[in-house]
Amino acid sequence: MLEIKNLHASVNGSPILRGIDLTVNKGEVHAIMGPNGAGKSTLSKVLAGSPEYEVTEGSVKLDGEDLLEMEAEERAAAGVFMGFQYPIEVPGVANSYFLRKAVNAQRKTRGEPEASSVEILRAMKKAMAFLEMDAGFRNRPVNVGFSGGEKKRNEILQLLMLNPKLALLDETDSGLDIDALRVVAKGVNSLRDPEHAFVVVTHYQRLLDYIVPDVVHVLVDGRIVHSGPRELALWLEEHGYGAIKAGDAGDAPRLEA
């Protein structure tokens, strides 16, 4: 589904990504781990089309289509969703209104008929109940005055409503208590099926207890330096990134060739 080849990207002229190769197939969950400043968040933002970054080399294809040629909103309509590490506040705009706008903007771009307010409201109520969100969130302005956990739940609500083929979750676990983490994972897992794919960016293996990945990649200095099965995350927690950073993965679990 997603094919990244030799991706280089920089911000204000300084390179962050220095040659990423990554293939994510339908139905897979890939975790991206790595130390601070390795480029994990950059990778998701570049894939989502943030104008902050400049792609200097490489290619990214989504189901064979050139993702880098698309505007951010076109990527969204093509099925790329990014869960933000720091969800943005939009004062004065009710959550429900925003979701209706977003769902229908994507449908319009894809040439599909727009959903009615009633349809969207029904879906929203269902998703909110599933995510154990208070009904009051419907009318609250987007992320304004939300706690960290509420913001992340709200991201997952958007994820469920927009139902993308590829979800990029950027540090979705940061600032979450264990209950919120469980709910967020429940939301993500409910979408797991042979059609959906996930790239989960995280610092800690804790999230991966709840969202169990098929593959774990270690990102260091803008490159994926090591890839392994789910157990790699546990190994990393024990040994840290130091050894891998130094180029000596030792007995770290690795993918079968």
Partner 1 sequence: MGNDPIDTQLSSSYKYGFSIDIEADTFPPGLNEEIVAALSAKKKEPEWLLQWRLKAFRHWQTMTEPTWAHVEHPPIDYQAISYYSSPKDTDGPKSLDEVDPKLLETFEKLGVPLHEREALAGVRKVAVDAVVDSVSVATTFRKELEEAGVIFMPISEAVHAHPELVKKYLGSVVPIYDNFFAALNCAVFSDGTFVYVPKGVRCPMELSTYFRINEAMTGQFERTLIVVEDEAYVSYLEGCTAPMRDENQLHAAVVELVAEGSGEIKYSTVQNWFPGDEEGKGGIYNFVTKRGICKGNRSKISWTQVETGSAITWKYPSVILKGDDTVGEFYSIAVTNNRQQADTGTKMIHLGRNTTSTIISKGIAAGRSDQSYRGLVSMGRKASNARNYTQCDSLLIGKECGAHTFPYVDVKNSSAQLEHEATTSKVSDDQVFYLRQRGLSEEDAVQLIVNGFCKDVFRQLPMEFAVEAQKLLEVSLEGSVG
Report the nearest approach of partner 1 to the CB of residue 219 (Å): 21
Token representation of residue 244: 């891998």
Shortest distance (Å) from residue 2 CB to partner 1? 16
- The residues binding partner 1 (CB under 8 A) are 48-52, 71-73, 75-77, 81-82, 84, 87-93, 98, 101-103, 105-106, 109, 141, 158, 162
In the complex, the smallest distance separating the C-beta of residue 103 from partner 1, rounded to whole angstroms, is: 8
Provide, rounded to whole angstroms, the least separation between the CB of residue 1 and partner 1: 18
Q: Would you say 141 or 148 has its CB closer to partner 1?
A: 141
Task: Supply the minimum distance, in Å, between the C-beta of residue 237 and partner 1.
Answer: 31
Cβ distance to partner 1 smaller for residue 84 or 235: 84
| Min separation Cβ 88 and partner 1, Å | 4
Q: Which is nearer to partner 1, 144 or 246 (CB)?
A: 144
- Give 90 or 121: the residue with its C-beta nearer to partner 1: 90
What pairing do the DSSP bridges indicate for beta strands 166-170 and 80-83? parallel
Q: Is the CB of 81 or the CB of 198 nearer to partner 1?
A: 81
| C-beta of 35 vs 175, nearer to partner 1 | 175
Residue 70: Cβ-neighbour burial (10 angstroms; 0-12, 13-18, 19+): middle
